[in-house]
Amino acid sequence: MGLGNPGAGYRKTRHNAGFMLLDGMVEGRFGRGIEIRRGAVESVKNFFGIRQKFHKGSGLYTDLEVEIKGTDILLVKPNTFMNESGKALTSLRTGGRLKELADLLVIMDDVDLEIGRLRIRQKGSAGGHNGMKSIIDALGTDEFSRLRIGVGPRPSGSDMVEYVLGTFRPDEWDEFTRSLENAAEVVEAWVDGGFDQAQNELKKLQSTKN
């Protein structure tokens, strides 16, 4: 599940890092192992919001079934605003589409990580992220995997809401895009071999950068 706010006005804001990663993977710009099922054109259009205008209350989530490295995966974007992201997971669990929390990876922005950095964890607090707080409250646990994409650091004294709902400066965009390319590799490793493989892939990517 990638986190973000629905609607064209939020499309390239820092808070929409999760959405941007999933959209880029579906478009083929990030990652190497994703396959979209034949006949899924309309579903893809809906996933990108081309045909479907996202509004609060228009549905709890948009999903797209894909295959990553031979494994069937459901990509999900909440249709609620960020602070109600947990409603989508409640619906997925109630509907039987998410049976085990071991099958859940939440992809989110992180203002405490500088642009270009990634972090993957198997559990942890919301860390002040309203979307993650909503998900933890909805699930009743913080023991699920999450991939954090750096969009910071937030300048000292700046307003948090204005910062996360702001867009990237031109000099930040290239570094952010490279981090999404790496994030796609980590997601594919997580699908292929679970948390340990994803963590090892991230360590390899970070050591190469350094």
Give the residue numbers annotated as catalytic, written as ranges.
15
Contacts of 18 (CB under 8 A, 6+ apart): 1, 2, 3, 4, 77, 106, 107, 108, 109, 149
Q: Which two tokens stand for residue 172?
A: 């930040």
Pick from 117, 149, 137: nearest CA to 14 = 149
> Sign of dihedral through CA atoms 124, 130, 131, 135?
positive
Report d(CA 167, CA 13) in Å as an integer: 4
β-bridge partners, 64: 75
Q: Would you state the torsion angle of the CA atoms of residues 139, 44, 80, 11, taken in this order, to the nearest 10 degrees?
A: 120
